[in-house]
Amino acid sequence: MNALIKTRPPRLLGGAFRRGLTPALGRAAAARVVRSADGRYVPPPDLARTRAGRFNLQTAAHLLAVRDALIDAGIPAGRAEDLLGDLMYRVMRRLHRPIDAVAAVMHPRDPLARVRRREKIDEALFVRRPDWVMTDVDTPSGYAFDVHRCLYADYLRGRGEQEFCQRVLCAQDHRMAKGRGEVLVRTGTLAGGADRCDFHYLPAAEQKSHSGTFANGMEYLTWGTGPKTLLFIQGGPGSVVPKGGMGLRMFRRMLDQYAKAGYAVWIITRRRHMPAGHTIAGMADDYAQVISQEFGGRVGLVVGESTGGLIAQYLAAFHPHSFGHMALVATGAVLPDWGWDFDSRWGAALARGDTAGAGAVTAEMLLPGKSMRWVRRLIGPVFGRLMFAGFDCPPGDILVEAQAEEAFDARAVLPRIQAPVLLLCGDRDRGFPRDVVEETARLIPGCTLIWHKGGHLRVGSSRRVAADVLAFVDHS
């Protein structure tokens, strides 16, 4: 073993961790945790060839020891990893502050050149070959490069700690970018099983909205430069990335308030080409996977609407550490017969490309009853053209979602939910009537219920929802 791979963690790390944990634990408890971690420290294998690489390995090994010491002190594993993630962010911000200053002095008027200069300095100081292997990637906007070898991923994979790597270390890339007013777009990580970590930085001057596809086949649209992350799970059956027209305007109308409040907004679809029989719980697992692989294991806020709310309930029950707060909008623990009949007819029309038929079904929300049938047939094609033109969800996925809705019943799992949950529903929603909503709220521990006037579509498109959600997050 190389002499520089120490049998005890460097004093520099112990001091930094003790200071970083003191605000959350208190000075005495933080000191006890760090002393306990020293005894748990397992020297890493000699994977590195540079001094910087050896220090990287010691840092990762010490992080694992501190995590285990925190858990032994009675702190839940998810909370322990959150504390370490916050600590690493503060350490990295301090280390990179002079690098950012140098890049700003060298390129005062060119934000893209600042990003390039900063990353090149960082590569020279902290992530040196052959321990880290990177290649620049040509891109029409921003600055992009791929990491083909990551020392952290190599070591932590060998310890069976891939998820720890993503939550505590990979997540810092996104946090650092947000702290600088940039957006980092990434489709996969080595720790998450991808063949590379791809980095695509968009400086503030180049940010509008950006779309793409994650490694697991889930498509996304993102905008906003705030330090917090909002994951929006849209209704269904079927999910799409809005590309323009009325659909995009509706999404922006609903979600722009979050961007103004400091969130980076991410609309993420269901996985493409889902297998027959894929359940709502399975879709929640897909979202948990993308949170783990692309967002470091945690997002600040999840908003699930209608069918998206069904998925969000399972995400909250079985993946409690994947988010901070959750809002469920126009949804419930079960989908009554009227709601499933509506969704199955609506989904079947969309799956066969009948936008006029889908528009006529949608009109039932606004103009119910047999006497209004002729009006619905009349305005159906107009609704269809306005709302569903360009709806490019694979037909099979629409039908899989509709079938999953029929079998959905989350009542047995809702008592498992631990995170703060806000439920917002309409007092005249035929899809999720009052008795279903009230039962849902009773089953979720500590759930906050807010009633809005109106039906399903009115609540789902209301700007008041964002205001209520932001107030809930601020006060809970």
Q: Residues 394-424: pLDDT tens digits?
A: 999 999 999 999 999 999 999 999 999 999 9
Q: How would you classify the pairing of strands 143-149 and 133-137?
A: antiparallel
328 and 434 belong to one structural domain: yes
pLDDT tens per residue across span 155-165: 999 999 999 99
Name the average pLDDT for the chain. 87
63 and 122 belong to one structural domain: yes
**Least confident among 51-60, 284-293, 404-413:** 51-60
Q: What letter represents residue 229's amino acid? A: T
Instruction: Give the pLDDT of residue 2.
Output: 44
The mean pLDDT of 368-397, rounded to a whole number, is 77
Instruction: Give the pLDDT of residue 424.
Output: 96
Instruction: Give the pLDDT of residue 397.
Output: 94
Cα 392 to chain centroid, rounded = 23
Counted domains in the chain: 2
Reply yes or no: is the peptide bond before residue 108 cis, omega within 30 of 0.
Answer: no
Instruction: Establish if 451 belongs to a structural domain.
Output: yes
Instruction: Establish if 166 belongs to a structural domain.
Output: yes
Instruction: Give the pLDDT of residue 317.
Output: 97
Q: What's the start-to-end Cα distance of the chain, in Å?
A: 50
Q: Is the predicted pLDDT of residue 438 greater than 50, yes or no?
A: yes
pLDDT band at 8 (very low <50, low <70, confident <90, very high): low
Domain-terminating residue out of 166, 200, 234 = 200
CATH number assigned to the domain comprising residue 106: 3.90.1520
pLDDT band at 293 (very low <50, low <70, confident <90, very high): confident
User: What whole-number distance in Å separates Cα of residue 100 and Cα of residue 195?
Assistant: 29
Q: Which of 425, 426, 420, 424 is nearest to 474 (CA)?
A: 420
Instruction: Give the pLDDT of residue 467.
Output: 93
CB count in 10 Å sphere of residue 166: 24
Percentage above 90 pLDDT, the chain: 43
469 and 409 belong to one structural domain: yes
Instruction: Establish if 379 belongs to a structural domain.
Output: no
What the block records as the tokens of 212 is 């793409």
Instruction: Establish if 407 belongs to a structural domain.
Output: yes
User: What whole-number distance in Å separates Cα of residue 302 and Cα of residue 206?
Assistant: 26
Element (H, E) at 260: helix 245-260
Instruction: Establish if 121 belongs to a structural domain.
Output: yes
126 and 153 belong to one structural domain: yes
Has this prediction a pTM greater than 0.85?
no
Instruction: Establish if 80 belongs to a structural domain.
Output: yes
159 and 215 belong to one structural domain: no
Give the residue with greater pLDDT, 381 vs 466. Answer: 466
Instruction: Give the pLDDT of residue 1.
Output: 40
77 and 166 belong to one structural domain: yes
**Least confident among 188-197, 202-211, 295-304:** 202-211
Q: Is the predicted pLDDT of residue 49 greater than 60, yes or no?
A: yes
Strand order in the sheet with 421-426: 209-213, 218-223, 263-271, 228-233, 299-305, 323-329, 421-426, 448-452
User: What whole-number distance in Å separates Cα of residue 339 and Cα of residue 332?
Assistant: 11
Q: For residue 457, which phi and psi values (nearest 5 degrees)?
A: -70, -40
Coil/strand/helix, residue 43: coil
The mean pLDDT of 104-114, rounded to a whole number, is 81
Bridge partners (DSSP) of residue 328 are 304, 423
333 and 194 belong to one structural domain: no
- Using the 8-state DSSP alphabet, how is residue 169 labeled? I
Instruction: Give the pLDDT of residue 380.
Output: 73
278 and 132 belong to one structural domain: no
Instruction: Give the pLDDT of residue 113.
Output: 85
181 and 312 belong to one structural domain: no
Percentage above 70 pLDDT, the chain: 95
Q: Is the predicted pLDDT of residue 208 greater than 80, yes or no?
A: no
Cβ 254 vs Cβ 261: under 8 Å: no
155 and 253 belong to one structural domain: no
pLDDT tens per residue across span 316-346: 999 999 999 999 999 999 999 888 888 888 8
**Least confident among 18-27, 176-185, 189-198:** 176-185
Instruction: Establish if 139 belongs to a structural domain.
Output: yes
**Least confident among 9-18, 209-218, 340-349:** 9-18
What the block records as the tokens of 369 is 């009853």
Give the residue with greater pLDDT, 97 vs 438. Answer: 438
User: What whole-number distance in Å separates Cα of residue 74 and Cα of residue 87?
Assistant: 19
Q: Is the predicted pLDDT of residue 143 greater than 80, yes or no?
A: yes
Cα 338 to chain centroid, rounded = 32
Q: Which of 285, 245, 239 is nearest to 266 (CA)?
A: 239
User: What whole-number distance in Å separates Cα of residue 20 and Cα of residue 88?
Assistant: 9
pLDDT band at 365 (very low <50, low <70, confident <90, very high): confident
Coil/strand/helix, residue 415: helix
User: What whole-number distance in Å separates Cα of residue 131 and Cα of residue 111?
Assistant: 29
CATH number assigned to the domain comprising residue 463: 3.40.50.1820
What the block records as the tokens of 238 is 């079927």
Show the CA angle centred on residue 96, arms to residues 90 and 98, nearest 5°.
Answer: 125
Q: Which of 119, 109, 183 is nearest to 147 (CA)?
A: 119
Domain-terminating residue out of 155, 181, 200 = 200
Q: Is the predicted pLDDT of residue 295 greater than 70, yes or no?
A: yes
164 and 244 belong to one structural domain: no
Widest CA span in the chain: 85
User: What whole-number distance in Å separates Cα of residue 314 and Cα of residue 459?
Assistant: 22
Q: How would you classify the pairing of strands 299-305 and 421-426?
A: unpaired
Bridge partners (DSSP) of residue 21 are none
**Domain region containing 104:** 11-200
87 and 165 belong to one structural domain: yes
Domain-terminating residue out of 138, 170, 200 = 200
User: What whole-number distance in Å separates Cα of residue 219 and Cα of residue 161?
Assistant: 27
Cβ 343 vs Cβ 307: under 8 Å: yes
CB count in 10 Å sphere of residue 218: 21
Q: Is the predicted pLDDT of residue 20 greater than 60, yes or no?
A: yes
Instruction: Give the pLDDT of residue 204.
Output: 63
User: What whole-number distance in Å separates Cα of residue 250 and Cα of residue 257?
Assistant: 12
Q: Is the predicted pLDDT of residue 73 greater than 90, yes or no?
A: yes
Coil/strand/helix, residue 106: helix
Q: Is the predicted pLDDT of residue 254 greater than 80, yes or no?
A: yes
Instruction: Establish if 345 belongs to a structural domain.
Output: no
Element (H, E) at 279: none
Cβ 429 vs Cβ 459: under 8 Å: yes
Strand order in the sheet with 183-185: 133-137, 143-149, 197-202, 183-185
Instruction: Give the pLDDT of residue 395.
Output: 92
The beta strand positions in 132-287, using DSSP E, are 133-137, 143-149, 183-185, 197-202, 209-213, 218-223, 228-233, 263-271
Give the residue with greater pLDDT, 92 vs 387. Answer: 92
pLDDT band at 5 (very low <50, low <70, confident <90, very high): very low
